[in-house]
Amino acid sequence: MSMIQAGAEKSPMVRTAGSVVEPVADIALLLEGTYPYVRGGVSSWVHQIISGLPEFTFAVIFIGGQKEMYGPAQYQFPPNVTHVETHYLLHRSLVKPHSRKGNRQPFQEMEELHATMRQPGKLAEGKMIDAFARLDSKGGISQEDFLYSEASWDYITRQYKERCTEPSFVDYFWAIRAMHAPLFVLADIATGLPPVRAVHAISTGYAGLLGAMMRLRRNIPFVLTEHGIYTKERKIDLAQATWIHDHNDDVCNTLHDEMGYIRGLWIRFYEQLGRMAYAQASPIISLYEGNRLRQVADGAAPEKTRVITNGINVERYRGALEKRPGKIPPVLGLVGRVVPIKDIKTFIRTLRMLVKERPDAQGWIVGPEDEDPSYVNECKELAESLGLKDHLRFMGFQNMLEILPQLGLMVLTSISEALPLVILEAFASGVPCLATDVGSCRELIEGTAEQDRALGAAGSVVHIADPEGTAKAALELLNNPGKWRAAQQAGLARVKRYYDDQLMFSSYREVYSEALGVPRHPAVAN
């Protein structure tokens, strides 16, 4: 069913004479759509953590959508990766559809569970545990029952009649299927995963749910780190998703002013996934205070949350700093995947504004373009229509150490960020930053605590989707060498003092040691 890919041979699965099986790794990292197949901030961070903590062994559990969406692994595993698994949630079921009655009992229990889930703030922990523990096993709902049984059909149609406020049954039906089918794959992964001492999910969503299942089924510690806020990012995706039809037409626009039922269903689904992960995970780690508060608002128990900020190896960027030319290069760099969430289009428009004042200005977009080809096309067409052919370059993935010395400003126009490593990298190589006021960008540029703030601004914070303001801020720094130098010094000082990776490593060392060393609590008091 699931693919266990090359790399698994590295894992020494020591099976002793009895049924006692040695754990294949200390920590199983549960990675949804990132490391090692997709490059990006989270993936770099994962690689950094694995490399920086050689005293722990890691199992890399990748969960993707469809196999075709991913290329070869983008990272060379450090030697302390002892087990690798690759799974895809959206694979076609190999079972031929055939009619079956289905076990009605678990569907009835599911109804109660769903009812509890609909009440805000409540978490039917006992029922949830029960449902997930038995998913795809005897007495629970099997995948075949869910996909093909009459019991499942009756349940889905009843729910549709009672709740769905949108007309299209076929849309509702497929939304429900698409939503729940991955749960069975997760249950499979949870069953098949060789023993590990603890799990560490690097997001909520499906990875977080897998973590929760692992904790419930095996009673092992479950650490959760969130870089972005998964639920929020899904909401942004869903708000833009064109594959969901909202049945709003001109006539009844006033009646359906808010988002369509199915869109809302998806959002509530992801919110539930998040709540389930929060309920089981400890500690729940975020990158900065803003996100921690958000986790608490989304249902995480405050006492379990903590902030461990990202860090980088500042030394590594010394070379880039030394290579900098004396003059400030009029080059704006955006480092990131070319996807809507990075709002590349605003960057392009900013450049258009800037070029009016500084005809020598350049814009470089540095990052992989394979994730959303249609968006990449839109961006390229926009650049062309704005006549930026000689000013804008799409450079694909590049070695940061070579790019950074050539930049005059690092620009982030994202509509959502967590704690972007590229800002830290820019600081360490002496590049001031312009960033939108999302995630921890303001904290990074302006500082948090009093001492931190005293270091000064390492660039400027701008509004979301504001090309004019961004261009103005860029011009102010580029045309004003004194201000630019001050920003450079503030960035250098801030990254050295607060965002050195040694701080991050020691925090995670502590988290892992605690997870592995402390005697385990029973998951639930029955």
CB closer to another protein out of 154 and 476 = 154
- Cα separation, 84 vs 80, whole angstroms: 11
Bridge pairing between strands 409-412 and 392-396: unpaired
Of 209, 222, 189, whose CA–CA distance to 87 is shortest? 189
- Cα separation, 98 vs 121, whole angstroms: 39
Exactly one of 104, 217, 232, 245 binds another protein (CB under 8 A); which one?
245
Of 234, 241, 240, whose CA–CA distance to 203 is shortest? 234
Exactly one of 20, 96, 101, 138 binds another protein (CB under 8 A); which one?
96
Using CB under 8 A, which residues numbered 428 to 447 contact another protein?
none
Q: Which two tokens stand for residue 99?
A: 């009619």
CB closer to another protein out of 59 and 265 = 265
Beta bridge partners of 269: none
Using CB under 8 A, which residues numbered 457 to 496 contact another protein?
none
CB closer to another protein out of 247 and 294 = 247
Rule CB under 8 A: is residue 99 a binding residue for another protein?
yes
- Cβ atoms < 10 Å from Cβ of 385: 10
367: left (phi over 0), alpha (psi -120 to 50) or beta: left
Residues 6+ apart with CB under 8 A from 129: 216, 523, 524
- Cβ atoms < 10 Å from Cβ of 199: 29
Contact yes or no for 167/161 (Cβ under 8 A): no
CB closer to another protein out of 171 and 343 = 171
Contact yes or no for 434/468 (Cβ under 8 A): no
Stretch that binds another protein, among 157-165, 222-230, 388-396, 424-432 (CB under 8 A): 157-165
- Cα separation, 151 vs 154, whole angstroms: 5
Rule CB under 8 A: is residue 171 a binding residue for another protein?
yes
User: Total residues at the site for another protein (CB under 8 A)?
Assistant: 21
Minimum Å gap between C-beta 170 and another protein is 5
Q: What is the DSSP letter of 35?
A: T
- Cα separation, 129 vs 131, whole angstroms: 5
Residues 6+ apart with CB under 8 A from 303: none
CB closer to another protein out of 179 and 465 = 179
The sign one gets for the Cα dihedral 28, 39, 511, 301 is negative
- Cα separation, 68 vs 9, whole angstroms: 23
Rule CB under 8 A: is residue 91 a binding residue for another protein?
no
Q: Give burial (CB, 10 Å; 0-12/13-18/19+) of 365.
A: buried
Minimum Å gap between C-beta 251 and another protein is 17
Beta bridge partners of 196: 25
Rule CB under 8 A: is residue 516 a binding residue for another protein?
no
CB closer to another protein out of 170 and 297 = 170
CB closer to another protein out of 153 and 476 = 153
- Cα separation, 390 vs 432, whole angstroms: 24
CB closer to another protein out of 157 and 191 = 157
CB closer to another protein out of 161 and 327 = 161
Minimum Å gap between C-beta 142 and another protein is 14
Residue with tokens 């990748």, as numbered in its chain: 62
- Cβ atoms < 10 Å from Cβ of 251: 7
Q: Which amino acid is at 89?
A: L
Rule CB under 8 A: is residue 242 a binding residue for another protein?
no
Exactly one of 74, 168, 416, 506 binds another protein (CB under 8 A); which one?
168
CB closer to another protein out of 144 and 372 = 144
Rule CB under 8 A: is residue 165 a binding residue for another protein?
no
Rule CB under 8 A: is residue 98 a binding residue for another protein?
yes
Exactly one of 9, 54, 112, 169 binds another protein (CB under 8 A); which one?
169
- Cα separation, 274 vs 317, whole angstroms: 36
Each residue 187-226 as x (binds another protein by CB under 8 A) or -, in order, gives: ----------------------------------------
Rule CB under 8 A: is residue 167 a binding residue for another protein?
yes
CB closer to another protein out of 157 and 502 = 157
What H or E segment, with its residue span, contains residue 55? none
Exactly one of 18, 72, 97, 326 binds another protein (CB under 8 A); which one?
97
Rule CB under 8 A: is residue 288 a binding residue for another protein?
no
- Cα separation, 272 vs 269, whole angstroms: 5
Using CB under 8 A, which residues numbered 126 to 155 contact another protein?
147-150, 152-153
Stretch that binds another protein, among 50-58, 170-178, 309-317, 321-329 (CB under 8 A): 170-178
Stretch that binds another protein, among 167-175, 180-188, 207-215, 397-405 (CB under 8 A): 167-175
Minimum Å gap between C-beta 290 and another protein is 40
Minimum Å gap between C-beta 115 and another protein is 21
CB closer to another protein out of 170 and 449 = 170
Residue with tokens 């895809």, as numbered in its chain: 88
Exactly one of 75, 173, 394, 505 binds another protein (CB under 8 A); which one?
173
Stretch that binds another protein, among 106-114, 160-168, 201-209, 317-325 (CB under 8 A): 160-168
Stretch that binds another protein, among 63-71, 94-102, 334-342, 489-497 (CB under 8 A): 94-102
What is each CA distance from 145 to 113, 191, 488, in whole angstroms?
18, 19, 61
Classified as helix, coil or strand, 375 is helix
CB closer to another protein out of 168 and 507 = 168
Q: Which amino acid is at 439?
A: G
Binding region for another protein (CB under 8 A): 96-99, 147-150, 152-153, 157, 160-161, 167-171, 173, 245, 247
